[in-house]
Chain A
Amino acid sequence: NAGVTQTPKFQVLKTGQSMTLQCAQDMNHNSMYWYRQDPGMGLRLIYYSASEGTTDKGEVPNGYNVSRLNKREFSLRLESAAPSQTSVYFCASSYPGTGGNQPQHFGDGTRLSIL
């Protein structure tokens, strides 16, 4: 049981390049999330998907797009990478349960550097 799998684990891009970060979960969860983690700022939500076919903006959506390909997969795309997007990106999933009483499960992250 792999849980939440993110690919790639590391990536270096040049400013202006595009890239898609992949995430897949095998826990049959309805909700999936993309966060970025920066020093001293905790986790900030970029986008989330409450169910297959739906996506919504989080706290810091600018410069990103997402696709909920099916129930298992939720990808994050940087169309034109900028140095400010250098960060560690985490994907998470959850079965929200009754009013959000279930925890989120996280992948091990993608470490992205934009030069």
Chain B
Amino acid sequence: AQSVAQPEDQVNVAEGNPLTVKCTYSVSGNPYLFWYVQYPNRGLQFLLKYITGDNLVKGSYGFEAEFNKSQTSFHLKKPSALVSDSALYFCAVRDPYNTDKLIFGTGTRLQVFP
């Protein structure tokens, strides 16, 4: 079955430190991968995507993600965390059998402490 896993329910990091939010996937063929962020009482906002090409993808708000095909991972990273980065983060992969659809992970709550 096609799936996305976010192994950490919550990640805590001090402001100014680097952050990593983990995502692994299991899909047939070449994956199309996405990261979204959700702030309280808001919908999901698109951060970045990997379709093909450079394994390091840069996105909004200083976030980047590294695609690793051998480890089937797509971890979200930021060199220096801000308190305002505290939110719920979702990884998603395109369903290879129905390309209109995304398969979402269960989400990781990022808490950045001052």
Contact = CB atoms under 8 A, between A and B. Distances in A.
B104 interface: yes
Given A105-B46, A109-B43, A43 B104 contact: yes
B106 A41 contact: yes
A50 interface: yes
Contacts of B71: none
B94 A90 contact: no
Interface residues of A, number: 25
A45 interface: yes
Interface in B61-114: 90, 94-95, 99-102, 104-107
B46 A103 contact: yes
Contacts of A94: 100
Given A40-B106, A41-B106, A48 B46 contact: no
A90 B43 contact: yes
B34 A43 contact: no
A4 B99 contact: no
Given A108-B41, A108-B43, A45 B106 contact: no
Interface of A: 4, 31, 33, 40-43, 45, 48, 50, 58, 90, 92, 94, 96, 99-101, 103-109
- Which 9 A-B pairs rank lowest in CB-CB distance, beginning with the nearest? A106-B43, A100-B99, A103-B46, A42-B106, A43-B104, A106-B44, A100-B94, A42-B104, A108-B43
